[in-house]
């Protein structure tokens, strides 16, 4: 399978805990994006990498959120001190031209 993969697929955590998600993009794609999708809504852009450089961050990305793409390949998204409002599907996409999406990580904060 050469698509975008995300791990874990589901995460349940207690409020105040830290969580980290991983995204492995399609190997030849230099652009990588994170989006957040809440129930019944369209995805919203969070952040964007070109190779290892983080070039754009949405104002949705509070200081509790941090993303990295250390070698220009896989990326991680960390949420510190999770809140119930962070419960959502976190989607990763990669592109050379058109964005291709992974299956997402569903986060539930209790």
Task: Examine residue 25 and tell whether it contacts other proteins (CB under 8 A).
Answer: no
| Burial tier of 98 (Cβ tally within 10 Å: 0-12, 13-18, 19+) | exposed
Q: At closest approach, how far in Å is the CB of 92 from other proteins?
A: 9
Q: Does 98 bind other proteins (CB under 8 A)?
A: yes
> Under the criterion CB under 8 A, does residue 21 sit at the interface with other proteins?
no
Among 19, 21, 36, 48, binds other proteins (CB under 8 A): 48
Q: Which stretch binds other proteins (CB under 8 A): 18-26, 60-68, 75-83, 99-107?
A: 99-107
Residue 56 engages other proteins in binding (rule: CB under 8 A)? yes
Phi and psi, residue 85, nearest 5°: -70, -10
The Cα-based distances of 8 to 5, 21, 24, 35 in angstroms read 9, 7, 11, 16
* Cross-strand pairs, 7: 22
Burial of 94 (0-12, 13-18, 19+ CB in 10 A): buried
The residues of the shown chain that bind other proteins, judged by CB under 8 A, are 4, 31, 33, 35, 40-45, 48, 50, 55-56, 91, 93, 95, 98-104
């Amino acid at each position: 399978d050469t698509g975008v993969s995300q791990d874990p697929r589901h995460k349940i955590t207690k409020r105040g805990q830290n969580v980290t998600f991983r995204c492995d993009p399609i190997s030849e794609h230099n652009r990588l994006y994170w989006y957040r999708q809440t129930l019944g809504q369209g995805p919203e852009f969070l952040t964007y990498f070109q190779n290892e450089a983080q070039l754009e961050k949405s104002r949705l990305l509070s200081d509790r959120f941090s993303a990295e793409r250390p070698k220009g390949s896989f990326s991680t998204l960390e949420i510190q001190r999770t809140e119930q409002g962070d419960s959502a599907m976190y989607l990763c996409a990669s592109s050379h031209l058109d964005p291709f999406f992974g299956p997402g990580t569903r986060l539930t904060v209790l």
